């Protein structure tokens, strides 16, 4: 997991190869009040009943721009720092 500007880059691996796999990044718009403040993201995976057994790996890119917009609006600020957490991995997001 890494950040390039406002884009979260995720590498995912899964068993499949015969059907398109759909991934959706989810956030409940909740902040965890720690130092630094953090958010937890969840990745939803729909394999579309793919029973094939090839090992697939791909990179997913998600625009996180809505996160600082929500944060800035809630906190009356134009800058911020959040620790982004996904599956026990962390990356610092500053804007």
Q: Whole-angstrom Cα distance, residue 20 to residue 46?
A: 9
pLDDT digits (tens, 9 = 90+) for 70-80: 999 998 999 99
pLDDT digits (tens, 9 = 90+) for 30-66: 999 999 999 999 999 999 999 999 999 999 999 999 9
For residue 33, what pLDDT is reported?
Answer: 93
For residue 24, what pLDDT is reported?
Answer: 98
**With a threshold of 0.85, does the pTM exceed it?**
yes
Three-class SS of residue 40? strand
**Preceding amide of 21 cis, omega within 30:** no
**Average pLDDT over the chain, rounded to whole?**
96
Among 19, 25, 33, CA closest to 65: 25
């Amino acid at each position: 997991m890494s950040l390039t500007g406002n884009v979260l880059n995720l590498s995912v691996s899964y068993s499949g190869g015969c059907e398109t796999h759909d991934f959706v990044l989810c956030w409940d718009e909740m902040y965890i009040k720690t130092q630094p403040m953090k958010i937890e993201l969840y990745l939803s995976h729909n394999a579309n009943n793919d029973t094939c057994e090839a090992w697939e790996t791909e990179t997913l890119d998600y625009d996180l721009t809505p996160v600082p917009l929500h944060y800035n609006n809630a906190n009356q600020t134009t800058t911020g720092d959040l620790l982004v957490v996904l599956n026990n991995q962390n990356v610092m997001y500053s804007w």
